Amino acid sequence: MFDLPFDFPPFEAGSVWLVGAGPGDPGLLSLLALHALRNADHVIHDALVDSRIVALARPGAVTEAMGKRGGQQSSSRQADITERLIELAKQGSRVLRLKGGDPFVFGRGPEEALALAAAHIPFRVVPGITAGIGGLAYAGIPVTSRDTNAAVAFVTGHGADGDIPDGFDWDALARGAPVLVFYMGLKHLERMVARLLAAGRKPAEPVAVVCDAATPRQKVVETTLADLAATVAVAGLVPPALLVVGEVVGLRSRLDWWRPE
């Protein structure tokens, strides 16, 4: 595939590779991810994986969309996805589970890997660029900067039950990291903002919302924490979206480098 000074690991029949496809741009795929696409017999991909990436699968490979989108009846159940991976591997296929971002960052990759291990299915994990880093970079927002923050917190916008996450200390979260990056945060936006304000975050703190990060549909809106819910409503923003709270948002006026085609 490439003239490189190393060999790619073999994609064995009867195994599953859990592969991160990155936040959107096909150019952000790793070499191992492309190797998997070029050798898989069956590709099970998320709803958030760009169609241009799926199209890189080798001729003759079967591609199957089994994505989960909150609130949509057409979404696949996680149990069905996991069962399908095991079924195909037991049939002797080279199975590629292609996931947006990184499979082990706010994804169901760990659950799928544990199920594969329990079923004695060989598997490999290929990390991808998570949207909270790569997607924000495409929006001109660094997650850290020497002049603004020495820490960053990545937070899921909803828990396992689909409700606002309550498994951590919101006061400690608000105090502990100058920059907060929320994945999947639009559904419970007003409640999350209320908790952050109650925990001491400043109403005028800059916030950015990045929708469809690193894709031709990317849209970025800047506002303040106090005005966040109203701004999202007026702009008609919809998932998938990232929220970033903190002074790094102010750097975007000088770092907004990417223009979607």
CATH number at residue 30: 3.40.1010.10
What residues have CB less than 8 Å from 180, skipping those under 6 apart?
152, 153, 155, 173, 174, 196, 243, 244, 245, 246
124 and 136 within one domain: no
Task: Find the domain containing 39 and state its range.
Answer: 16-129
167 and 137 within one domain: yes
Q: Is 43 a domain residue?
A: yes
Q: Is 7 a domain residue?
A: no
What's the pLDDT score for residue 164?
A: 81
Q: Is 236 a domain residue?
A: yes
Average model confidence (pLDDT) across the chain: 93
Residue finishing a domain among 82, 111, 129: 129
177 and 219 within one domain: yes
Residue finishing a domain among 87, 106, 129: 129
Residue finishing a domain among 103, 129, 155: 129
Q: Is 72 a domain residue?
A: yes
How many structural domains are present in the chain?
2
246 and 137 within one domain: yes
Q: Is 233 a domain residue?
A: yes
Q: Is 2 a domain residue?
A: no
Q: How would you classify the pairing of strands 42-45 and 95-99? A: parallel
140 and 173 within one domain: yes
What's the pLDDT score for residue 75?
A: 65
* Residues catalogued as catalytic: 46, 68, 184
Q: Is 5 a domain residue?
A: no
What's the pLDDT score for residue 69?
A: 56
112 and 192 within one domain: no
**In Å, how far from its chain's centre is CA 121?**
25
Note the pLDDT tens digit of each residue in 54-84. 999 999 999 999 976 554 555 689 999 999 9
- CA end-to-end distance (rounded Å), the chain: 28
pLDDT in tens, the chain (261 residues): 567 888 999 999 999 999 999 999 999 999 999 999 999 999 999 999 999 999 999 999 999 999 765 545 556 899 999 999 999 999 999 999 999 999 999 989 999 999 999 999 999 999 999 999 999 999 999 999 999 999 999 999 877 677 787 777 999 999 999 999 999 999 999 999 999 999 999 999 999 999 999 999 999 999 999 999 999 999 999 999 999 999 999 999 999 999 987
